[in-house]
């Protein structure tokens, strides 16, 4: 099957901006020695304007996780300053090219497996599922992406996914400990016990029916205080924002709705990163104006970070009578067995990374999250 994304080019063409001035016809048009099909322009979508905002917000949340993973949470970008090589490599993951792991091309194509046509608007849960699947192909960043189901985070499942037992003859046939604390972590790792795979934890939620229920406001704000916070994906219907904090009853967010020109790698291997950062100050909106469909994000580089997050959730989230989500120790007995996700057996890489919807059948599709009782 021909890849849908094979129609994309690595640069924006001007011709497609003027198609509305031409008649709706299947007849070819010739411009300066090149033929174009009026209905597609010969390149497929040349912009993500009008449909890509939630995908861009997902990229922002993931990029923040990668910054925390490679450069630390306290690292800050400074304009026109030489950046670490890890930073440049992170940028490479998000270029608007179909051979980049987290490009909008790959996210849109993977969304086909979630029932979203290319060019169709994504919701927070769909973006979370797409990031989980794309991360399986990303060996450099080596993230474990866990997306909660039914408003429930299962500690046992996360530990199973993130604790990786090194292959060693000395440990063959032995069972690893159920948990490693900070004090014995280095000893256990050197002895062959599991190392912790950095965790991107995404919790899709529905905090109301048509609008956010005020009973969730305090708990929602508490999530932004946690040291592991990556903010939240959400916004308004068909209008996504990346929420990074709050001030009083106002949420602080980054708005992706500024169309930027395509940027590619320069001859020296670096990327002109000016448009990858805020060109204007973050904006604010009243939290009660937030659409109830959201996805919280957290990053736990080490196991102690996850253990600390669990303690904070127990203290600040689960104290409420109407809980925003649940945190349980054991895998629910009525759920199907938890199997850590693994990379499908596909042989294509790079530009042919996911080149047909047939390959997406390797993944189990998951239903949308349930609506909380209100």
Which residue numbers are catalytic? 53, 255, 257
Alpha helix stretches (DSSP H) within the chain: 53-70, 85-92, 104-112, 124-134, 155-162, 185-190, 217-225, 303-316
CB 256 within 8 A of CB 56: yes
CB 67 within 8 A of CB 86: no
Residue 231 zone, left/alpha/beta (φ > 0; ψ -120 to 50; rest)? left
CB 35 within 8 A of CB 135: no
Q: Identify the CA nearest to 207 among candidates 295, 108, 84, 132.
A: 295
Residues constituting the chain: 374
What does the angle CA 364 – CA 164 – CA 100 come to, to the nearest 5 degrees? Answer: 55
Return the number of other C-beta atoms located less than 10 Å from residue 316's C-beta. 17
CA 142 remoteness from chain centre: 14
Distance between CA atoms of residues 55 and 20, nearest Å: 26
Q: Helix crossing, 104-112 with 53-70: angle to 10°? A: 120
Helix, strand and coil content of the chain, in percent to the nearest 5, comes to 30, 20, 50
What does the angle CA 346 – CA 352 – CA 354 come to, to the nearest 5 degrees? Answer: 60
| Unique residue bearing structure tokens 């009973």 | 215
């Amino acid at each position: 099957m021909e890849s849908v994304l094979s129609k994309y080019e690595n640069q924006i063409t001007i011709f497609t901006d003027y198609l509305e001035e031409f008649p709706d016809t299947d007849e070819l048009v010739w411009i300066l020695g090149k033929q174009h099909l009026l209905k597609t322009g010969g390149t497929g979508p040349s912009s993500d304007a009008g449909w890509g905002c939630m995908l861009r917000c997902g990229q922002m949340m993931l990029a923040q996780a990668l910054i925390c993973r490679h450069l630390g949470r306290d690292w800050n970008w400074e304009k026109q300053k030489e950046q670490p090589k890890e930073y440049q490599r992170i940028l490479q993951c998000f270029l608007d090219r179909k051979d980049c792991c987290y490009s909008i091309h790959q996210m849109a194509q993977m969304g086909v497996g979630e029932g979203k046509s290319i060019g169709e608007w994504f919701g927070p849960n769909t973006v979370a599922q797409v990031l989980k699947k794309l991360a399986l192909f990303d060996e450099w960043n080596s993230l474990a992406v866990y997306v909660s189901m039914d408003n429930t985070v299962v500690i046992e499942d996360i530990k199973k996914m993130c604790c990786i037992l090194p292959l060693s003859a000395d440990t063959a046939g032995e069972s690893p400990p159920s948990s490693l604390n900070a004090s014995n972590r280095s000893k256990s790792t050197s002895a062959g016990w599991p190392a912790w795979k950095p965790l991107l934890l995404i919790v899709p939620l529905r905090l109301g029916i048509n609008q956010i229920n005020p009973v969730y406001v305090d708990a929602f704000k508490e999530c932004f205080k946690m040291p592991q916070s990556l903010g939240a994906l959400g916004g308004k219907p068909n209008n996504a924002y990346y929420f990074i904090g709050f001030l009083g009853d106002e949420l602080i967010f980054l708005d992706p709705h500024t169309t930027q020109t395509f940027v590619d790698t320069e001859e020296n291997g670096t990327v002109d990163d000016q448009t990858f950062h805020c060109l204007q100050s973050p904006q604010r909106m009243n939290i009660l104006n937030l659409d109830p469909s959201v996805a919280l994000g957290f990053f736990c580089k080490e196991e102690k970070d996850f253990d600390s997050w669990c303690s904070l959730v127990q203290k600040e989230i689960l104290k409420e009578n109407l809980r925003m989500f649940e945190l349980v120790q054991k895998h629910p007995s009525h759920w199907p067995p938890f199997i850590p996700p693994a990379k499908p057996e596909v042989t294509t890489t790079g530009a042919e990374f996911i080149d047909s919807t047939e390959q997406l059948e390797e993944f189990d599709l998951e239903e949308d999250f349930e609506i909380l009782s209100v």
